[in-house]
């Protein structure tokens, strides 16, 4: 089980020494006001609902999902950057991002034996729909301008990152994808982040890949998880 900085690096892209953007316009994605939208889709999902929506076992094609019990962020995971235009990307590593998380859950993704996928993680964060839209818009703008930045955490680390656009997937209500490479990473691998919005929930996939051939998460995986979130949003919330 990862802990401390490893958790942040896993879902934000560092690497334990090491969390795209080809924009998909609104015309490529389902509309937020689509017919049949559940009323619960208008408010942030709870942490309980996010945990229920996490992939377990073979819920996602090509992967085995294994939810984590430990929190993704600690209170001292407060990250700043020297580049204002790159801040929306650095915010994915932040315990207190500009757009408040109302709930958070995450899981490891391990490739099936017969799969050509790579190890990674998935995190689900809930927001107001307005905040989720705004963060995605900020990411799109950042990827137009940001090619690298230095991030510093109150935990005591400082890393330099390079950023690169990637083709994204058509899923949810919009998505972005990009590479984020820690220049100190000993293996030279880059983290590939794909973020998909389903109403007010952001699903972030972080996969460790060869920088010479990075690819965002597959459309089949992104769409299946989007379906899981939609199903959770229509299900009555029952206390535990």
Least confident of 10-14, 135-139, 190-194, 222-226: 10-14
Residue 208: pLDDT over 90: no
The CATH-assigned architecture of domain 5-211+230-234 is 3-Layer(aba) Sandwich (3.40)
pLDDT greater than 70 at residue 14: no
How far is it, in rounded angstroms, from Cα 240 to Cα 228?
20
> Residue 135: what are its φ and ψ, rounded to 5°?
-65, -40
Delimit the domains of the chain by residue range: 5-211+230-234
Has this prediction a pTM greater than 0.85? no
Q: Among residues of the chain, what percentage have pLDDT more than 70?
A: 79
CA 190/CA 210 separation, integer angstroms: 6
Q: What is the pLDDT of residues 64-120, one digit of tens each?
A: 999 998 888 877 789 999 999 999 999 999 999 999 999 999 999 999 887 778 889
List all residues 6 or more positions away from 189 whose beta carbon is below 8 Å from its beta carbon: 15, 18, 181, 208, 209, 210, 211
Average pLDDT score over residue span 44-67? 95
């Amino acid at each position: 089980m990862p802990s401390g900085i490893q958790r942040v690096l896993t879902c934000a892209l560092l690497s334990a020494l090491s969390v795209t953007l080809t924009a998909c316009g609104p015309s490529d994605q389902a509309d937020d006001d689509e017919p049949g939208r559940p009323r619960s889709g208008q408010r942030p999902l709870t942490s309980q609902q996010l945990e229920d929506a996490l992939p377990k076992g073979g819920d996602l094609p090509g992967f085995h999902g294994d939810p984590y019990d430990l929190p993704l962020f600690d209170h001292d995971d407060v990250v700043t950057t020297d580049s204002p235009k790159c801040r929306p990307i650095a915010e994915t590593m932040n315990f207190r991002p500009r757009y408040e998380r109302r709930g958070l859950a995450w899981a490891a993704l391990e490739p099936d034996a017969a799969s050509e996928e790579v190890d990674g993680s998935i995190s689900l964060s809930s927001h107001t729909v307005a905040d989720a839209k705004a963060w995605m818009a900020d990411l799109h703008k950042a990827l137009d301008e940001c090619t690298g930045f230095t991030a510093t955490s109150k935990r005591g680390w400082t890393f330099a990152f390079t950023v690169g656009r990637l083709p994204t997937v058509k899923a949810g209500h919009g998505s972005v994808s990009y590479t984020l490479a820690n220049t100190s990473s000993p293996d030279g691998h880059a983290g590939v982040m794909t973020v998909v919005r389903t109403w007010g929930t952001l699903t972030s996939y972080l996969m460790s890949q060869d920088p010479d051939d990075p690819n965002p998460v597959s459309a089949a995986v992104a769409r299946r998880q989007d379906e899981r979130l939609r199903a959770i949003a229509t299900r009555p919330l029952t206390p535990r």
